[in-house]
Structure formats: C-alpha cells, structure tokens
Structure 1
C-alpha cells in the first residue's frame, strides 16, 4: 500500500508533467490524490518543497543504483563503468517527461534553494562515481581521476540531453560501451604522454551549499538535541542514539544514503522534532520519509 507522502509525490509528478508546475496547485494535487489539502501541508510546506523532494528522490535513485553496482563483486574493470553509464541513461529515459518539464520552467532554473539542493546532491553523487571509476580503471587512473570523471559525466550529460530535449533514440548498450572505451583510451593516452592533470583534489571542489555544510549539519544536530528536553527519558535516549549515528555517518567521506534516510525516518514519531528533522534531511540530501 502506498503511503500518503509517496502518493502526494506521485500525484504531483503526474500533474507537473501534464500541466506544468506553475499551473498546478496544492488543491489540485490533494484532489487528485483523494486526500485533504491540509494533509499535503503536513508533509510539505509549499509546492517548491514538493519539487525539491522529487529532485532528491531522483538523485537518491541514482545514488542507490551506483552503490548497488559497487556492492556487486561480479562487476569489475570497464564492465563496471559500462553498467554505471547504462544505469544513468536508463534513468534519464524513465524520467524524460519530468526532466523536460523542469528544464522548461524558468522559475525553477532561477531558484537559489533548488540550485543549492542540486549542488548538494551532485557533491554526494560524485563521491560514489569516483569510487566506481577507481574500481573500473584501477590505480593507474588516480592522477587523472577528476579529469576522467569530468569527461565521463560530460558525455553522459550530452547523451542525456539528446534523449531529454531532442527525444532522440539510440542504443544505450552501444553508448555505454562507447563512453567506457573512451575513458580507457583517454587513460592510455594520458599515461603515454604523462600529461599533468587539469583537476586535482585541491581544485576539484563542488560547493554543495553556501558556507560550511558540515557546520550546518552540526548546528542542526545540536538543535535537535536541545529539542529532546520536551521528550520523556526513554524517548530522549532513543533520539540521542539516533543522532549520534547520524553524526557518525554524515562525517564519513562516503556516507550511506540508505542508512541516513532510515535514521532520519526514526525521528518521525516525534512531532517536536519535525521542522528541524526536515531541515537536517535537506542538509544531508536524503529523502524525508
């Protein structure tokens, strides 16, 4: 059975695609979903919050697919990179209508909050991609790993635009093989020429949010801990343990999105924490469930 939050997102996605975000109202979403308008606001503060949740949902899907590929010990070498590209192109194909919708909406393209959220998600996803690249191409790729990642993502993005904006059809299998082989050929050329990398760990920085994001996460966790005084002693203990686990996981170089999402969900039974819980989920770029 579909939970109410998921139902709202599915309904909003359908209406956004059919009539655009500007022309869709919260009331229409509630009516089509068969729920009260107030129920929508109990999950989302505004229509933009629904849009942001749909973006997080899309990025999390990419993240989970990439993490699953990394966990599959049968995949290695260029085949792993091919599988990753295939996964990305398949998702673009499935989400074509949604992508077309938001790319044609000027109000979204110019919204700072949404752009910051996208940057946060990009920063998280790039870490997983780097791990895939390392396993696919080996230690030989290390000096140029950021350059290679940029080239690969550029190719994926261009082919994705052909799918999304031009409704072009082509073999995803051949495309994935082409991109994977291009990466191998490029690496061979770089090794032979001993070219200096353009991008390094020092200058490859995706700014996920203005300011120090980790500091913002720490402030949010501190605020949640201060709100715990409104709970009884047993609840305080459970929440404190959950926050400790979130803090540990968020400090890792490659935190588990699935685990963070589950830990954030553990805080849902406490209405006193609802507003700050939503803020923390946004900072961590995980879906609020």
Structure 2
C-alpha cells in the first residue's frame, strides 16, 4: 500500500484506552462525572467572584481567572467525550480523524497556554513586589490585554502548525492506546513511525514548540521568583512574608503542571509497545490533576478570593 492510498483510506482512528477502564466503567463514569461537575462549578464560581467584585479587578486576579477559564476549556475538550465513551460500553472507540486532530490541537494548545499564563503571573508578581512604583504603568490594562493575547495566541499558532503537519502524515496504523487524542500519538501512527519522511521535522518542530511554550515559561518563573526571594530577604519580615504568601498559590500550580506534564512526556517517550495501562494512567493524570487542583488552590489559598467566596456563599 502506498502512503497516498493509506492516507486516503484512514478516515477514523480507534482509542483503546477505554478498554483499560471497561471492567469498572460505571465506577469510573461516576467518579469522572463528579470531578467534572466539581470543576465546572468551582471554576465558574471563582471566575464569577473575580468578575463581579471590583476589588479583584487587578492583574493578579484577572490572570487567575484566565488560568481557570483555560482549565475549564481544557476539561471541556476531554471530560464530555470520555464520559460518553464510558457510558457507551464500547471497549474500542472509533473517532473520525478530523475530530481526533481537532481534539489533539485544543488539548495541546491549552496545555501550553497554561504555562504561558503562569509565566505572566510571575511577571505580575515580580513587578508588584520588585517594581511597586512602576507596577501600574507596567501592568496597565492595555499591557495586561496584550499579555493575555500572547499567552493564548502564541501556543495556538505554534501548536496549530504541528497539528496541521500531523494531520498530513500518511497513517499505517489506526489504534491509539489513549483516552483522548494528542499530536505526538498521531505521529507514532504514521507510516514508518518517528522515522517516516516528514515525521522527524515534525518531532523537531514539536520539541521547539515545547521549549518555547513550556520550558521557557518554567525557567522564566524560576528566575523571577528567585529574584523575588532575593528582594524579600532584604525587606522587613512582615512585608516579605506577605509578598511570599501571594506567590505560593502560583508556585503550587506550577509544580502541579510541571510534574503532570513531565510524567506524561516521559511516559510517552519511554513506552515501548507495552504497558497500555501506564499510558492510560498518565493521560488521566495530565488533565484530571490540574483541572481539579486549580480551583482548590486559587479558591482556598488566595486570601482575597477566599474572603469573597465566603461572603458569596454566606460562610462564616
């Protein structure tokens, strides 16, 4: 079979990950359903509080709302389809190739935006703590809007290029040991796998994209928070303690994203044809842990948001 004919023949892909959950599918269904309801309610609640309270209309809280909105969209790209697949009772789920590519693009783009938003948060904290007299000018509404556009549009453009290249590769295999589609897995299905013509440039491009939208933001966060620690060490204990407390939630979310993304990337690179359960587990962790933890961290660890939440819910 020629690559052109195989490309024309492959119109759908099969997700085998659901088979790993099928024995207890209704337990998993209700667990994921409960988690998704929690994610929806908690994210929307925190975003509403930030949007409705003028006292929270500041760059730090706007960026928190952006992170939660990003997490909300990421969950919407995975949870509903996963719940439908579990409810269907099928062990092998067939997905049209365009739908699979679209899901891979959305998941990867929003995942990269998460790291960019965390870098934007670290910039805001650095400006507020280390350049307080220029904070209003440096983080003006126009500057904040431009920063948010960069956080969403740069990953969307870079990942879009990778998704288009992956969609054009001829496929000789159609089974993904995953619960959802991702760009890297699509490349592994191509004729010749990673050694196929066009696959190697795509892998290099993917590494560059990851470096630009994941590694660079993480390094930027570490550098800026390192600088903040130095400044706080020179300041009074009261002021430095208050400043550091505002950084803790962002650092917790950074660790959360970095660990889950690192485990997922490592598992995908090291898997050698076996251990489908490990692939399913890593794909679960990479979207469940951040989407569930984000509203908990920002809702409970950011004092101003927690105060407004208690007032809204009339909790003493």
TM over 0.5: no
TM-score of the aligned structures, taking structure 1 as reference length: 0.36
Structure with bigger RCO (C-alpha 8 Å, 6+ apart): 2
TM-score of the aligned structures, taking structure 2 as reference length: 0.34
* Structure with the larger helix share: 2
